């Protein structure tokens, strides 16, 4: 909630600049209040006119599908769609799950399918997009502007968020302490019920990848069947098998030999803080970074579709010019084509 508050404040500040910046001599004498009122009148008149169809077309083709970018550079378009689409879906479904996913789905748990699979799938989409972006920036011979600190920040913060999230998922899968917390909270089994506790733990070691410091070796069918019954009574309603979280499960498989030392060191807690703080700083800094174009560019495309030189209110033309500054991502297309 704190990061959302900082993000909202930054977003409001950046949008206010569109009505405060004066670009060129035509902006002189037109107050901020006049530009805001002109924008409000323009939005209302557009929504109740035939131009609404133009807005819907631009929203679908140019904002969501980004047709304009695909025409210029397919690889760049694909990288952009993967990063933007995958990360926004992750943000809505996972980062804001209590506000979005849990509201839409009554029986939502992050450890249930299809949510577990979709989380990893969207994460993989973002990683593929980051890989293509890195290739274009460092390997492609196409002319482009010099990389700046903001460009590196964008890639680094995304990479930290994704890598820490996958590592967190993997360490939680094999964590015995995390398993114990779940048993104490949901199983209803007391310490005296040692046979039942052992059966449940054996089942989770066999089917869910938990690494235990207490139990070793293979398990007989009777123990596993008893553990399965206890699992279905207490755990199955909110836990799908971790194989569906394919990236986290891959990490869990790789670190299995080190699972117990990592668990004793509370590495999954450290990764949670790293993941949370990376998301916090990324979201809070978004309005002040190059990432802001995910809001400013769609807004500019929509305004540009209905605000016309010589026909629209001059105050709205000035506001559109200010929006254009934030919509520019310094991609170099204008330099290449001029």
Q: What is the DSSP letter of 145?
A: P
C-alpha 220/C-alpha 21 separation (Å) is: 74
Position of tokens 């590196």? Answer: 152
- Asked whether the beta carbons of 252 and 170 are under 8 A apart, the reply is yes
Tell the burial category of 108 from Cβ atoms under 10 Å away from its Cβ (0-12, 13-18, 19+): middle
Position of tokens 């302490």? Answer: 177
Position of tokens 């809001």? Answer: 295
pLDDT tens for 285-312 read 888 877 788 888 888 888 888 888 777 8
pLDDT tens for 10-23 read 889 888 988 888 88
Position of tokens 């986290």? Answer: 248
Q: What would the DSSP string read from start to end of 225-270?
A: HHHHHHHHHHTGGG---GGGSHHHHHHHHHHGGGHHHHHHTTHHHH
Return the sign of the alpha-carbon dihedral for residues 105, 107, 109, 111.
negative
Looking at residue 68, its pLDDT comes to: 82
Q: What is the three-state SS of 147-172?
A: CCHHHHHHHHHHHHHHHHHHHHHHHH
Question: pTM, whole model, 2 decimals?
Answer: 0.80
Looking at residue 263, its pLDDT comes to: 93
| pLDDT at residue 145 is higher than 70 | no
The secondary structure element, H or E, covering residue 61 is: none
């Amino acid at each position: 909630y704190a990061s959302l508050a900082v993000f909202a404040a930054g977003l409001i500040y950046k949008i206010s600049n569109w009505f405060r910046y004066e670009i060129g001599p035509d902006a002189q004498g037109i107050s901020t209040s006049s530009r805001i009122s002109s924008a409000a009148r323009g939005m209302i008149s557009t929504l109740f006119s035939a131009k609404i169809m133009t807005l819907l077309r631009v929203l679908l083709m140019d904002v969501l599908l980004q047709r304009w970018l695909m025409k210029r550079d397919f690889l760049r378009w694909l990288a952009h769609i993967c990063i933007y689409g995958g990360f926004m879906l992750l943000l809505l479904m996972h980062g804001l799950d209590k506000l979005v996913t849990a509201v839409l789905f009554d029986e939502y748990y992050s450890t249930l399918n299809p949510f577990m699979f979709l989380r990893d799938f969207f994460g993989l989409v973002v990683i593929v997009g980051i890989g293509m972006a890195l290739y274009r920036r460092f390997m492609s011979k196409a002319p482009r502007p010099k990389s700046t600190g903001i460009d590196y920040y964008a890639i680094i913060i995304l990479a930290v968020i994704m890598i820490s999230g996958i590592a967190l998922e993997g360490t939680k899968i094999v964590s015995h302490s995390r398993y114990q917390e779940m048993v104490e909270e949901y199983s209803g089994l007391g310490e005296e019920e040692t046979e039942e506790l052992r059966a449940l733990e054996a089942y989770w070691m066999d089917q869910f990848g938990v690494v235990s410091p207490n139990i070793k070796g293979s398990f007989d069918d009777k123990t596993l069947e008893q553990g399965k019954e206890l699992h279905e009574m207490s755990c199955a309603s909110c836990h799908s098998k971790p194989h569906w979280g394919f990236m986290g499960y891959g990490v869990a498989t790789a670190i299995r030999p080190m699972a117990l030392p990592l668990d004793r060191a509370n590495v999954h807690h450290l990764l949670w803080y790293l993941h949370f703080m990376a998301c916090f700083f990324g979201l809070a800094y978004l309005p002040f970074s190059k990432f802001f174009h995910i809001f400013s560019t769609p807004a500019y495309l929509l305004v540009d579709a209905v605000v016309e030189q010589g026909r629209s209110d001059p105050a709205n033309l000035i506001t559109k010019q200010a929006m254009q500054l934030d919509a520019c991502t310094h991609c170099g297309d204008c330099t290449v084509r001029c």
